[in-house]
Structure 1
Amino acid sequence: MKNEKPYQPKSGFGMLAFAFILLAGTIAALIVTQNPLFALLFILFLFLLPGFFVVQPNQSRVLVFFGDYRGTVKKNGFFWVNPFYSKKKVSLRAHNFDSERVKVNDKLGNPILISVILVWQVEETYKAAFEVNDYTHFVRVQTDAAVRKLANTYAYDNFEDEGEITLRSGMEEVNHDLEGELAERLAIAGIRVIEARIGYLAYAEEIASAMLQRQQATAIVAARYKIVEGAVGMVESALEELNKKQIVDLDEEKKASMVSNLMVVLCSDKSATPVVNAGTLNH
């Protein structure tokens, strides 16, 4: 397999001056001598014209002579080469590709919508021009394949195992894997992946509502757990302080009643309504 090789063409300005001199001489000879054979010089002038080309910044030209790869011109400027050379333009600029949102199943089988943002650049012009049919189309297809593989590797979210890497919580790790997968796939076309990251991620419409309720329920349970945990600590601290300062002598029944009341007050969603008890504990 061939690799890219540089090609140093001739400056186009010298050849352009020669071409205009040739044209002027041909016209003058035809006028003075009126010999039609001088028209052949005009044909030579026309033959020289396809050899001129310009290479813009961050552009390149891949030169091929009757199927034989001769090299790549990356230097900017105005040049002239053999007119029989075909000159295929290959951009060396960074391209930004925002893929379409595709519906795929994650690791747990849940349908999700996902898209990626890819920044890529042609690094090997020979591979981009000859190893694949259309390198821009190749990027789109391979990006779609990499996204589907990535979605099948990770779950969108995991409510049971908080330590597991998921598409939603492990963005850094997921984007790193995506970039590595794309770099491996696009290397055949001589393309360098500059950056790859998930641009859009959501549950599919048919399960989005149910998953939202599940996320809300998980959040509520976690919040309740924290509230109960904090309330238990506060009740324990209150009983210790009362016993330590001997403010009131509580038997087991009174402690149980106090604990019950405090837990209700601390864990309730609404503000507690105070009740003045002028009798005993049971009346």
Structure 2
Amino acid sequence: MSDFSAYALRNSKERGARTSSGYGMLALAAVLLAGTIWIGFQIGTWPDWMAAVGIGIGSIAVLFVAAGFYLLQPNQAAAILLFGDYQGSDRNTGLRWAWPWLTKQKISVRIHNITSERLKVNDLRGNPIEIASNVVWRVADTAMALFDVDDYKEFVNIQIESAVRAIGSRYPYDEFEDDKITLRGNADIVSDEIKAELQDRVALAGVSIEECRLTHLAYASEIAQAMLRRQQAEAVVAARAKLVEGAVGMVEMALEQLSEKQVVELDDERRAAMVSNLMVVLCSERDTQPVVNSGSLYQ
């Protein structure tokens, strides 16, 4: 038998507990208390042994009923145990009652919100990055959360770190060579993958992951400056390419209009010189200073 199969045989599963509303038992306790007090007033008219027995039985009955009360707030559950054996979970709110020999172990099923610490992870290309995620989760199965893991909150915290590390190392931080998915460019996809990865990991604890979103993503400090210069260089190259593309179009348009309107006839050498001058003027980052030719075109 495999390890997983052996674990599956021990796996807990939430089921409803046999409990009742506490308000009816509260009325019964009030009646028993009133009867015990009434018996106390009969001392002197009843035989002493009979009054003592009545008071004793009434007191024990009141204490017995009172020992079974417990309260459940909204989004709170109680696991009912009989000498350590799981009997079921009660999710009904308000005043509840169960047999006094049953143990009631309360657990919150409210929404929990955790922001992981900033983890240093190597991305797909080996670059160290810092990544953190915010996770919204809740307990879906109280029996699994209480009895299948030692501390379900600590278990979730550890699995969040493991899932973030696993997904953070699966993709590159930024697009270098036509990467389809990157951590910076596809944050929603990465967050959904972290959620799916985390849900698989915490399913053993009966926990449901409601939402997962990246809260921090950056290069590690030791390479941040180098990567910033690389990004700046890429931006400069992209801007230059756009500028050259526009300048070539403008030069082409200028030569075509000069030729169509027969403003001036240029041979190949002067045409090349004019193209060079126009490209310098259009692509220069500084204002150009024109030189006026007072002689002929070929001087």
* TM-score category, normalised to shorter length: over 0.9
**Counterparts in 2 of 1:8-157, with a 5 A limit?**
8-30=18-40, 32-33=42-43, 37=53, 38-39=55-56, 41-157=58-174
Counterpart code for 2:210: I
- Structure 1 unaligned segments of length 5 or more: list them: none
Q: Separation in 1 of the partners of 2:63 and 2:285?
A: 89
Q: Relative to structure 1, is the Cα distance of residues 217 and 87 closer, same or farther in structure 2, using a 3 angstrom cutoff?
A: same
| Cα drift, residue 210 of structure 1 | 1.4
- Whether the 8 Å contact between 2:163 and 2:198 is mirrored in structure 1 is yes
The one of 244, 248, 261 equivalent to 1:245 is: 261
Match of 2:280 among 237, 244, 264: 264
| Residues 40 and 16 of structure 1, relative CA distance in 2, 3 Å threshold | same
Listed as ranges, the gaps of 5+ residues in structure 2 are 1-10
TM-score (norm 1): 0.92
User: AA paired with 2:95?
Assistant: F
Preserved contact between residue 29 and residue 65 of structure 2 (Cα < 8 Å)? yes
Q: Which runs of 4+ in 1 moved over 6 A?
A: none
Question: What is the distance in 1 between the residues matched to 2:245 and 2:67?
Answer: 82
Aligned equivalents of 2:58, 2:222: Cα separation in 1: 74
After TM superposition, the structure 1 = structure 2 runs for residues 173-252 of structure 1, keeping only pairs within 5 Å, are: 173-252=189-268
Q: Secondary structure at the match of 2:210?
A: strand
2:12/2:147 contact within 8 Å kept: no
Q: How many Å separate the matches in 2 of 1:270 and 1:231?
A: 15
The alpha carbon displacement at 1:48 in A equals: 2.9
The alpha-carbon deviation at position 26 of structure 1 amounts to 3.2
Judge conservation of contact 1:117–1:198 (CA < 8 Å) in 2. yes
Count of residue pairs the alignment pairs up: 282
**How far, CA to CA, are the matches of 2:179 and 2:257 in structure 1?**
39
1:30/1:39 contact within 8 Å kept: no
**In the TM superposition, what is the alpha-carbon distance from 1:269 to its structure 2 partner?**
0.7
The 2-side partners of 1:63 and 1:225 are apart by: 71
Q: Deviations over 1:54-83 (max 9, x none)?
A: 222222111111122111111222110011
Which is worse superposed, 1-10 or 65-74? 1-10
Task: Work out the CA distance in 1 between the residues paired with 2:87 and 2:237.
Answer: 69
Cα distance in 2 for partners of 1:236, 1:50 equals 95
Scaled by the length of structure 2, the TM-score of the pair is 0.88
CA contact (8 A) 2:140 2:208 kept: yes
- Partners of 1:213 and 1:31 lie apart in 2 by 93
Letter in 2 for 1:50: A
Checking the alignment, whether the CA contact within 8 Å between 2:14 and 2:89 is kept in structure 1 is yes
SS of residue in 1 equivalent to 2:31: helix
> C-alpha separation between the residues in 2 aligned to 1:134 and 1:140?
10
Distance 1:86 1:259 in 2: 92
User: 1:25: how far off?
Assistant: 3.3
CA distance in 1 between counterparts of 2:193 and 2:297 reads 65
Q: Is the Cα–Cα contact under 8 Å of residues 95 and 120 in structure 1 kept in the other structure?
A: yes
1:165 counterpart residue number:
181
Query: Which of 217-226 and 48-57 deviates more?
Result: 48-57
